Structure 1
Amino acid sequence: MAMTTGEKWFQGFAVVLSASLSLAMIYPFIHMISISLSTPAEALRPGIHLYPRELTLDAYQKALTSNGMWYGFQNTIFRTVVGTFLSLVFMSMAAYPLSKKDLPDRNFFMMFIIMTMFFSGGLIPTYLLVKNLGLFDSRWVYVIPVLFNTFSLIILRNFFMEIPSELEDSAKIDGANDIRTLFSIVIPLSKPILATVGLWSAVMHWNAWFDALIYVQDQSKVVLQVFIRRLIVENQDLEIMKMMDDQKSLNAETVKAAVLMVATLPILLLYPFLQKYFIQGILVGSLKG
Structure 2
Amino acid sequence: MCTNQVKSKSDSARNKTLLAVSAILALTVVAIFAVYLLAPKQPPQSKTGIVVAVTFYSLKPDLDQLVCSGDSVFSVTPSGVDPHEYQLTPSDVAKLRDADIIVSTAHTPFETQIRDLVSRGEIKAVLIEIPSIPGVSIKLNPATGQPNYHWPIYDPENYKIYMVYVEKKLETLRPECAETYRSNLKNLIEKVSTIENATRKLNFCAVATSPPAQYAVEWAGIRVKYLLVKEEDLPATPEDLARTESSLSSGECKLIVVVGSTSTQVAQKALELAARHSVPYIAIPDPIAPDSTLNKIFKVSQELTKLPPSG
The two structures have a TM-score, normalised by structure 1, of: 0.22
Higher relative contact order (Cα pairs below 8 Å, separated by 6+ residues): 1
Which of the pair is proportionally richer in helix? 1
Q: TM-score, normalised by structure 2?
A: 0.21
Question: Whose strand fraction is larger, Structure 1's or Structure 2's?
Answer: 2
The higher radius of gyration belongs to 2
